[in-house]
Structure 1
Amino acid sequence: MNLSRVAAFSSSLLLGAVLALAGAGPAQADTTAQSLDYVALGDSYSSGVGAGSYDSSSGNCKRSTRAYPRLWANANSPSSFAFTACSGARTGDVTANQLLPLNSSTDLVSITIGGNDAGFADVMTTCVLQSEATCVNRVAQAKAYVDTTLPGKLDQVYSAITAKAPSAQVVVLGYPRFYKLSGTCVAGLTENERAAINGAADHLNTAIAKRAADHGYAFASVVGTFTGHEICSGSSWLHSVNWLNIGDSYHPTASGQSGGYLPVFASNA
């Protein structure tokens, strides 16, 4: 009998037993995501507006097969996946219309919310169509809303999620900065307007991150992944004004969903 081979075989069996007891074996690594019940909530940044390939059954909610929740679900095959994010959603829409799939068995929740409450669409419309001074003033109004009113609305959403899915890991994703300053754009908004809009995005993200943390949720910033891919970067993952399909304006492209949002969510899921 070859004692060295017996020893090696025994060591292999022992290692396998240790890994199994520790929950670190290959089989568990492969099935972890498959045992999850995942629900994707939120607004157009989660539904995938701007990425195209919309599920016709989602109607005006415009849920895209290229949106980060669908991409993550396709890659990880969770045991269940409910996709209720909807274009144009505000905090009240989430609590009224999107929480039905949540229950005590829900393991994972993702959400982007707050931008529409803060008047994102009106801010961008004002800045595109009116003067620099009017744009900067409208941005200031939005920031004041974020300071005074939005935190309470976010609390209502987050508390409702916790009440329905108390055991879930909740990942709150933020919004990108929209412009690369001193970039390639030669027309459109002024540099002051672009800087004001970027500052408003940062202000919004800070408020969302604070409320998420206070509820014990993970906040996932996408500013880093979108850096170098803002409007005026020459390699944008965001639509600028799209007069042919105005709803796509200032939303992530398919590349923004797969390269900007998906990796950040995956690292926090």
Structure 2
Amino acid sequence: MRRFRLTAFMTSFLFAAGLALTGATNAQAAATGYVALGDSYSSGVGSGSYTSESGDCKRSTKAYPALWAAAHSPSSFKFTACSGARTGDVISGQLAPLGTGTGLVSISIGGNDAGFADVMTTCVLQSEATCLNRINTARAYVTSTLPANLDKVYDAIRAKAPAAHVVVIGYPRFYKLSGSCIAGLSENERSAINSASDLLNTTIAKRVADHGFTFGDVRSAFTGHEICSGDSWLHSVNWTNIGESYHPTAAGQSGGYLPVFTSNA
């Protein structure tokens, strides 16, 4: 009987200690500041509900950084991601909120450097041969030039926020091959665009690992929700708001990006 009471006491003690440690960890996480950097995939272009103060940067209350901050209540939340941003724009215009009190940073960047918008415009408006040639040019840039530009961004983030956990978010594949689309790009073009997205993600992930950051791969999350899937979380060509074309919808932010970021934050 005495042994039973001792065992019960130790079990209760360890359980209470575990709760205390968990509570302390959660409190510590909530006490750190969160800064969201990057391009249109982080600002939330395509999801609507853009804040008036963000202007052409089109930061959305439905973007994954805003959704995460609303759910987790960090001690501070600074949202500087901007539509159209390239690596140089992040360095020159987005890093001011970073500091020693920054505990968490998110960023998606690299797609605009590689000419994402021009690739898609070329493929929609011109021939298959011209499209494939433009994709190959983008692939060459991603292989030869983008890594050094990413290094500059990641080095700048680490210098300004030495204690931060940095999560770099990737890009989805755009198309479900052999899917429901009966018009638009050819299957060769769709396959080449997907392959270029894979190369971009692989390149980013390598630089992320070399800097000791965390890569959030969204491709699996978007599987079954690509364009031509019948349940797309990505806009195709949006003729009424062309800037939203090929960007995640609100469902893509909440169902694709947010869970991936949350699991890596």
Task: Give TM-score, length-normalised by structure 1.
Answer: 0.94
Q: In structure 2, what is the equivalent of residue 260 of structure 1?
A: 256
1:149-185 deviation digits (Å, cap 9, x = unpaired): 1011001000000100111110001000000000000
After TM superposition, the structure 1 = structure 2 runs for residues 86-165 of structure 1, keeping only pairs within 5 Å, are 86-165=82-161
Among 231, 240, 259, the alignment partner of 1:235 is 231
Look up the equivalent residue of 1:89 and give its one-letter code. Answer: A
After TM superposition, the structure 1 = structure 2 runs for residues 142-221 of structure 1, keeping only pairs within 5 Å, are 142-221=138-217
Q: Percent identity?
A: 68
CA distance in 2 between counterparts of 1:233 and 1:56 reads: 33
Look up the equivalent residue of 2:74 and give its one-letter code. Answer: P
Look up the equivalent residue of 2:133 and give its one-letter code. Answer: N
CA distance in 1 between counterparts of 2:36 and 2:230 reads: 31
Q: In structure 1, what is the equivalent of residue 17 of structure 2?
A: 18
CA distance in 1 between counterparts of 2:5 and 2:146 reads: 66
- Cα shift at 1:50: 0.1
Q: Judge conservation of contact 1:33–1:77 (CA < 8 Å) in 2.
A: no
Unaligned runs of 5+ in 1: none
1:169-222 deviation digits (Å, cap 9, x = unpaired): 100010000000000000000000000100010010011001111111111100
> Helix, strand or coil: the match of 1:206?
helix
CA distance in 1 between counterparts of 2:254 and 2:28 reads: 22
- Cα shift at 1:10: 3.9
CA distance in 1 between counterparts of 2:110 and 2:26 reads: 35
1:108-139 deviation digits (Å, cap 9, x = unpaired): 10000000000000000000000000000000
CA distance in 1 between counterparts of 2:50 and 2:72 reads: 21
CA RMSD between the two structures: 1.8
- Cα shift at 1:19: 2.3
CA distance in 1 between counterparts of 2:251 and 2:150 reads: 28
Unaligned runs of 5+ in 2: none
Provide the aligned length of Structure 1 versus Structure 2: 265
Look up the equivalent residue of 1:153 and give its one-letter code. Answer: N
- Cα shift at 1:144: 0.1
Look up the equivalent residue of 2:116 and give its one-letter code. Answer: F
Q: In structure 1, what is the equivalent of residue 36 of structure 2?
A: 40
> Helix, strand or coil: the match of 1:108?
strand
Look up the equivalent residue of 1:19 and give its one-letter code. Answer: G
CA distance in 2 between counterparts of 1:8 and 1:216 reads: 43
Q: In structure 2, what is the equivalent of residue 73 of structure 1?
A: 69
Task: Give TM-score, length-normalised by structure 2.
Answer: 0.95
1:87-115 deviation digits (Å, cap 9, x = unpaired): 00000000000000001121110000000
CA distance in 1 between counterparts of 2:100 and 2:28 reads: 18
